[in-house]
Structure formats: C-alpha cells, structure tokens
A and B are shown apart, each in its own frame.
Chain A
Amino acid sequence: MLKQIAAVTRINLRSIPQRFWPSLSTVVAVALVVMVLLSFLAMSAGFRQTLASSGAEDVAIALRAGAQAEINSAITRDQVRLLEDAPGIARGPDGKPLVSAELYLIVDGIKRSTGTKANLPLRGIGEAGPALRKGVHVVAGRMFAPGSNEVVVGKSLLAEFSGFGLGRTVKFGTARWTVVGVFEADGSVFESEIWGDLPVVQSLFNRNNTFQTVRMKLDGPGALAALKAYSDHDPRLKLEVKSEKEYFSEQSSQTNDLIQKLGWPLAIAMAFGALAGALNTMYSSVASRAVEIATLRAIGFSGFPAFVGTLAESLVLAGIGGAIGAVATWLVFDGFTASTLGANFAQVVFSFRLTPATIGQGVVLALVVGLVGGLLPAIRAARMPIVKGLQG
C-alpha cells in the first residue's frame, strides 16, 4: 500500500510540468495571499516591537487622570515636588531622586518620502531623563548642555524626516535651537523624538511651570503599588500612575488592532479566492489524469493512493507558493521603515519585522489553502469509476 502511495504521488508530482500554467496560477495566487498577510503582520509586529521596547517595567509614569496620552496630560510644579518625595523611588549616587518631569510638545518636520509636514515630538527632559531610558547613547555629536537652547535628535527621526540634521539651526517662534547630537535608544519610540533641556523648552515655548508627565525610577518590585497608593491618597495628586511598560502597551494596542483587523480579513478573503483557483487547478489535474488513474485502478491499485497523490500535489503547489510568498515578503519588507501618527499625535517611526512565528502563520495559511483545495478533487480521484475513466 505504501509503495502504491509513493508511486502515485511520484507520478502526480512529476506530471506537474504538463499542467504548467494552471499549476503556476495556484502557486502565484497562494504566494500573493501569503505576501499580503505577512506584510500586514510584519507591520503590526514592527510597530508593537517599537512601542514594547520603549516601556520599562521599573519606571513609573504619572499622567493627569483621564489624559490617556502624554500630549494631553498636565502636571503642576507642586505635583512634581510631591512626587519627588514619594515612596518607592530610587535615588542616584548623589542622593537625588531619579525623577524626570517632562514637557511634550509637537513641532513640524518634513517627511522625506512625501515632502509633507509631519508632527514630530519635542520633549523637554529633566537631568535624569536619559538615564531613565534603556540604552540611550549619543552616536554623533554630543548631549545638549543644560540651560542652553540645544537639542539632540533620535536616529529614526533623522532618517525619516528632514530639517533636523546635525549642526543645523531650527527656529521655533523667536527662538533658535541648534541640533548638537544624534542619539540611539534601543530602537524604542524615543528614537523618533527630539530632546531638549526642560527649563529651556518651558521658557522658550512660554510654558513656564507646566509639565506633562513625570517619570520615576522605581526601587523595587513593590514600589509601583506604594507609589499608586501615595498618589491616590493625596488629594493634591490624584494622578494616574502606571508602569511605563503598561503605558506603552496601551498605546500600541489601538494602532496594532487596526493593522491586524485589516490584515487578517484581507488575507482570509484573498485565501478564499486562491482556494477557488486551487480547486479548479486540482479538478482539472484529476480530469486530465483520468485515464492514468483508471489504468492504475485497473491493474490493482486501490483508490487511496490516488487520493493521497492528488492531495500531495495540491499541498506541494501551495507549499511552494507559501515559501515564495514568505521569501518575497522578507526580501521586500523586512527592515522596511515607515512612520505613522501614534496615540500622542506625533509620528512614530518603526521597521517592519518578519519573525519566524509570523512566517509560520503565513505558511500555515498556504497549506490550509492547499489542503482544502486538494481534498475534494482527491476524493473525486479516489472514487472515479474505472470504466468511465478508461473511456477518457
């Protein structure tokens, strides 16, 4: 029996070139379906990765209750002072609490790919600001000097938008700022930002004594709960305190949902189209081999090998299509950078990421198309009456 199956499968696969065009149409159809799915999944994975890598577990962020995003939040100087004395906050070697009160503004830049204006975040950060973020280091130039109207820009921002090259002077209102450095931050969302010294940003943007968020380094696992309780019990605070990680995962979920909600239904709809094609191809394959199948049956082969052979042919075609789709997506989209408006109303730069798990999903979809598309024709092949088949 196994020998029969092997023999028929071999005949099936070897005869694929005789049905070159229909087989090719199945392969191309499946490849395109897989490409569409994988490019959406890669986009979603890249966006999620950028935001996920931005949030640290041991950093807490305080926002005005109900603000949801940094851009909407407002925190007063008194509140900042209260937070500096809060429990659970780690202190630096100099004994000062590791707290960075920040101001988040949006300024215009020009998106290189379209030449249109784009919202870019300008963040005034406190002294402890860079230390509160993972892997921040200056790759060109230097850090801004405290008290000066200098800014540093993230690497991704520099790549996607023009107007903020190293050494350039930018004018906001009456104030001129000099770009003195470029920084990396572990591929996080901060690489899409411009940073300046908080007091200078406050005064040159006429926002004296206003802050938007406070970031605080936590000193241990129980610290977040203690900090939350502290804020909840002081009527002067009543802020929304959460871990930075939690904050960013909330931020990523909206956009991510949208991408995924679009990607899967599209891919599934297209898979049905490809399925119709696969069924047609396989039915015609069975029809064109009717004489052959009937002959095999006449010399004693059972119907089962015919079933397996047809199914194998369908799976192989779909598998090839899936592989081509995955490779093509990888070649075209892996590492492809794009940017979109994030929850903070400013551009977030991210790279498409094609992970093995994503590729797995694409290949599974391809094989499902192959399986379903081969099943019915395979049953027909197995059940074909010998006499009718021999008549041709």
Chain B
Amino acid sequence: MNDGVLIAKNLFRKKLRAILMIVSILIAFAIFGVLAAFERAFNAGQEVSEDDRLVVVNKINFTQPLPISYFNRIAAVPGVRQVTYANWFGGYYQDPKNFTIVMAVEPATYLDITASDFAYDGAMRERFERTRTGALVGRQLAAKWGWKVGDRIPISSSIFQQKDGSHSWEVEIVGVFDKNKPQVDTNFMLIRWDYFDETRSFGKDTIGWLILKTDSPAINDRVSETIDKMFENSFYETATDTEKAFNKAFMAQLGNVALIVTLVVGAAFVTILMIVGNTMVMAVRERTREIAVLKTLGFSGARVLRLVLGETLLLALIGGGIGIAIAAAITASMRDSLSTFVPNLEVGPGIVLSAVGLMVALGLATGLVPAWNAFRLKIADGMGRG
C-alpha cells in the first residue's frame, strides 16, 4: 500500500464527513470562480485596449458632443497616425427592452483602427464603404436575431429621431464579422455616421468621440497635450486619454466591483478554512492511536506529516476542482443573456490557475495544525490515549 492509497483511505474513512467538507470547499471555489469571471469581464476593456490608442472626448463629459471638424484638425496633429470617430446611437431592436449596442461610425477609418480586435474581411469592408445605409453586425448579435447578410432591418434609437419624426432607421446588413481577440464580444452593430447625421433631427455635424492611433506609445502624452491645448478655451474643449485609462475610469463608475468580489470571496474562504481546519483537527485526533501504530511500524514523523498534509491537499483539490467546474458551467449558462452588459463572461485559464494556487494554499493551511500534531506525537502518548 503506497502513501497515496493510504491518504485516500484516510480521507474517506468517514464518507459523510468527507463529503460535507468537499461540499463546503466546492461552494467556496464555485463562488470564487463566478465572481472572478465577473471581475475579469468588467475589466476586459482595459486588457484589450492597445497602448497606442487614444480616446478624445468632450472635456465636460464624454456624453457631450464634439464638432465633426475636429476629425480633420486632429488628423493633422504630428504623431497621429490614424484617426476615426463614432457616435452613440442608443439603439434597440423592435422593443426598447431589446437594448442593442449600435454606433454610427466613419466607415473606412473606424474599421482600420479596430482591425486588431475584429476580423472585417475585404468584401464587407468594400460593401460598407459603398452602401450608405449599410450596417456591419457582430457574429453574436447576428446569431441572436437570426440576421444574415442582405437583410434589411429597422433599428430604433431611444435618443435620436429622424427628421420625419420616426425613431427607427432602416439599415441593410452588408457583413457579419468575427473577433480577433478572445476577450472581446461581437455583440454590437456599426452603421454609417454620414447616413445617420443626414437623417437625424438634431445634433447635426457633431460626433461623440474620436479614437486615434499614435506613431508610438512613447509620444502618447505629447499628442494628448497637443490636442487638448489646441481646443483649449473653445466652446468644445477636449479631454484626451489612453483607451485603457478611459475604460478604467468608466468601469470605476459602476462601483468598486473588485472590492465586493474580494470581500465576499474572503468571507467564503475564512468560513471553509475554519470548518475544514477544525474538522481535520478532529479527524486526526480520532486517529491518534493509529498514528502511533504507524510510527511504531517505522513511519518517520516527516512521513506522517506528509500523509496528513496529503489528505487535506487531496480534499482541497477534489472540492476545488468540482467547484471551478461548476463555476465554469454557471458562467457559460449566463454568458449569452448577459453579454450586452458583461461581455465575455468566462472562467478562463488565469482564473483556473489562481484557483489551483488557492486550493494548494487552503490544503496546506487546513492541514498545518493536525499535521504538526501528528508529527510531534510520541508513540507512548498515542498508545496511552484513545
């Protein structure tokens, strides 16, 4: 009988107790997995943002407009390699409840600047530039409504209105695109800004924000300063920031997600640490005589210590493994229904890795006291007790 078998037999000698401990561990890890997935999804915007991409918004707030003339003026700033602009459309499909992310963009440059995130092929690019009422739709959004290339669909706005009083714009789907990075979602639609601007009843010749690429991240600060300086004291002052800082500040507005996750996961782990730690102390104490026998048979103190630690480690890995699997299943089931608000919800490799780390830490922490007791146990005491 090798040590592994001995460890497993020890763990499951009282099945109910072992199962209860596994249940409490798996719950803690399921909570950890789900919450960590949420936190990661919330911060995905920072991860995918590229170092050389800057965002220019109205200094008053990013919901305030900027004039379209800024496009050419910013394009002329030294160090700006490429620039594009977009306007939030406030879209929904058929019913206001079906909130849909729609942006009105400048067709050629917008696709260029976001080409590292999304796979637009040459054909759809060409059709989008040619078709004034054209729309490009992400794979996920297209799948949600069963849209395909060539469909003409009405897309409504909760903010804007057409000159004829209607809130709905008819667009023709000219392409369905996929993503290039795992962290992004394709749950949105792009329509053409020129078509949108010409038909809307107010806000003509304004845009929501500009995105630009600099020649190198090293000159980001200089470029943003130049731009903001250029428009200082004008009616439309600008605030230029890296895409990463912009996304980070936006997520911070929702509240401190990271803090909530840490507190709840912390509470769950303190709970199981107490429960499993105590139970293991009891389990080892019950076995005092047995451990004395093992030592009599020539098992060294270190080996006994390893046996007990092995047992708590095995327990943590079984419980944690099942817990993470459950978390993956839960996030997978929520993913589609939440993708408009929390894109790309998943238990990724990074989360699994930190979970394994936590399992090892938990296994060692809960086994420490009982293992130490077993290590120190004197044979005569052990035989006498129990």
Contact = CB atoms under 8 A, between A and B. Distances in A.
Interface of A: 21-22, 24-25, 28-29, 32-33, 35-36, 64, 66-69, 71-72, 74, 105-108, 111, 113-114, 116-119, 172-174, 205-206, 210, 266, 269-270, 272-274, 276-277, 279-281, 283-284, 338-341, 345, 347
Interface string B26-47: 0110110000000000000000
A284 B23 contact: no
Interface string B245-269: 0001100111110000000100110
Nearest to B14: A283
Interface in B1-53: 16-17, 20-21, 23-24, 27-28, 30-31
B61 A28 contact: no
Nearest to A118: B253
Nearest to A340: B255
Given A29-B271, A276-B21, A280-B21, A114 B256 contact: yes
Contact of A273 (B96, B158, B268): B268
Contacts of A210: 202
B145 interface: no
Contacts of B267: 32, 35-36, 270
B17 A280 contact: yes
A25 B253 contact: no
Contacts of B275: 25, 29, 273-274, 276-277, 280
A315 to B, nearest CB: 18
Contacts of A340: 253-255
Contact of B236 (A29, A173, A270): A173
B270 A28 contact: yes
Contact of B24 (A28, A35, A277): A277
B235 A174 contact: yes
A106 B279 contact: no
B149 to A, nearest CB: 28
6 contacts: A21-B278, A21-B281, A24-B274, A106-B63, A107-B64, A114-B256
B72 interface: no
Nearest to B248: A116
B264 A266 contact: yes
Nearest to B95: A66
A63 B298 CA distance: 84
A169 to B, nearest CB: 15
B161 interface: yes
Contact of A119 (B16, B253, B256, B282): B253
Given A21-B281, A119-B253, A72 B90 contact: yes
Contact of A108 (B59, B256, B271): B59
B69 interface: no
Nearest to A117: B249
B158 to A, nearest CB: 5
Contacts of A25: 274-275, 277-278
A116 B272 contact: no
Could you say which of B21, B30, B253 has the most chain A C-beta atoms within 10 Å of its C-beta?
B253
A111 B282 contact: no
B284 to A, nearest CB: 13
Contacts of B281: 21
B29 to A, nearest CB: 10
Given A210-B202, A280-B279, A338-B255, A345 B31 contact: no
Given A276-B21, A280-B278, 15 more contacts: A25-B278, A32-B268, A32-B270, A33-B271, A64-B161, A66-B156, A105-B61, A105-B63, A118-B252, A205-B64, A272-B24, A273-B268, A277-B24, A277-B274, A284-B279
A64 B157 CA distance: 12
B297 interface: no
A108 B248 contact: no
Contacts of B123: none
A34 to B, nearest CB: 10
Contact of B20 (A74, A114, A116, A276): A276
A341 B254 CA distance: 5
Contacts of B59: 108, 173
Contact of B161 (A29, A74, A114, A341): A74
Contacts of B279: 22, 277, 280, 284
Interface in B75-111: 90, 96
A119 B57 CA distance: 13
B274 A29 contact: yes
Contacts of A345: 63
A269 B27 contact: yes
B60 A66 contact: no
A66 B253 contact: no
A333 to B, nearest CB: 11
Contacts of B60: 105, 107-108, 172-173
B237 interface: yes
Given A74-B202, A206-B235, A340-B255, A119 B63 contact: yes
Contacts of A68: 96, 158
